[in-house]
Amino acid sequence: MADKLWGGRFHGQAADWVDDFGASIHFDYQLAKEDIEGSIAHATMLAKQGIIGEDEADTIIAGLKEIETEFEAGQIHFSVKNEDIHLNIESILTEKVGPVAGKLHTARSRNDQVATDFHLWLKHRLPAVKTAITDLQQELVTLAEKNVDTLMPGYTHLQHAQPISYGHYLLSYYEMLQRDFERFEFNEKHTDILPLGAAALAGTTFPIDREFVADQLGFDKVYHNSLDAVSDRDFALEFLSNSAILMAHLSRMAEEMILWTSFEFNYLELSDSFSTGSSIMPQKKNADFAELSRGKTGSVYGHLMGLLTVMKGLPLAYNKDMQEDKAGVFDTFDTIIAVLKVFTGMLSTMTVKKDKMRVSLKGDYSNATELADYLAKKGLPFRQAHAVVGMLVYQGIEEGTALEDMPLSELQKASELFEEDVYQVLDPVTAVNTRTSLGGTAMENVQKEVESAKKVLASR
């Protein structure tokens, strides 16, 4: 295998299909810009340290920049024979500048090189994830402000539970996304570490300056253990884990959008831009983009489990198994950016059917807790109050009468504590607005949280 850049010790020749199996260029070509960026910084450092000549570094850097220009123009062809992006670029560089290209690999290995490229790739893209989350949060806050006084049933077990503000509901997803945002912020901290200089696993005998390279590449710090530097993929696992949690949140929202656009609920209507029809049923308007987003959650979960499984039994330091670390991350990034954009679009264009939400509260007994609280405030132990109201609910269901429509005389048969003011308590608006505890659904609370969220988003 003398034609390989590492082939001096080998004499046998692998079949083409073996080369294809072992190659990663099919997906790691996406690291091309990062590989060139890291190589330019490395060459600059080698010259600064006197490890290679200034003229040699200039030649190498000029060749790398030429390759970058051609790559961006779609003029570069990568070969499976050269296995990965690193050897492909080195091979092309050699064609351009001659044997001096071989000096670029002084004091580094593909092990710390690929780790550096991967760190750079994710470091460059995490800001885009945070921006996409912020855009969706902004849409949620805007919609929440328009619906502070929109009443709807709150659910537990998918059963009507208590009346809430729709704005309050929307802000619950803002809060979930806020935690997602903070998780990706923390992910940046562990991505912002430079592996280059660890070489294969033990460091190098050359007098390199790792802090100089870190400064050139914009890394906050360097790895302090060479074994850890080349074998760490925690930053990628964190990204996949954060993405999986994000997709769980979005999938829950998607599920509710799918339900709430159905004929049975009819709380929302998605715009035509984010809906599809049926090839056979002319009346259908399907929430396909919400459904597809929900479905894509599975692939993100799969990528997380895939990398966890790859890493779970690896001895230090680098192993070929780790070639499987990138494709899932690349796909996950594309997925979450697309899904976040779709959700922002769906929310900004959908119609909220406020009247339908409000009407669904009529006769649903979701004000039963208000009735129990009313009795408890009159001095009846809550457990007894719960039992009294439960019997009234049963009676109402049997007779087809809502709690708010029961005559006072009927209520007083259940408890003498009921008075005329009970009907005000049973009003859904009162039920919502009296829940003023911190984090509660009262409209004044929701408006305060809207203002607080606006300040958070404006500070980014």
Give the active site residues. 157, 278
**C-alpha dihedral sign at 359, 363, 368, 370:** positive
Bond prior to 317 in cis (omega within 30° of 0):
yes
CB–CB of 403/392 below 8 Å? Answer: yes
Interatomic CA distance for residues 21 and 411, integer angstroms = 77
Q: Please name the residues in contact with 89: beta carbons below 8 A apart, sequence gap of 6 or more.
A: 32, 35, 36, 39, 64, 67
Pairing of strands 268-269, 193-194: unpaired
Interatomic CA distance for residues 147 and 446, integer angstroms = 10
Interatomic CA distance for residues 88 and 414, integer angstroms = 83
H or E segment at 59? helix 54-72
| CA angle (403 as vertex; 367, 380 as ends), nearest 5 | 70
Tokens 């059917």 identify what position?
353
Interatomic CA distance for residues 156 and 162, integer angstroms = 9
Amino acid identity of residue 129, one-letter, is V
308 is written with which tokens?
């966890």
CB–CB of 328/240 below 8 Å? Answer: yes
Pairing of strands 268-269, 351-352: antiparallel
Largest CA distance in the chain: 100
Pairing of strands 221-222, 193-194: parallel
Quote the DSSP letter at residue 56. H
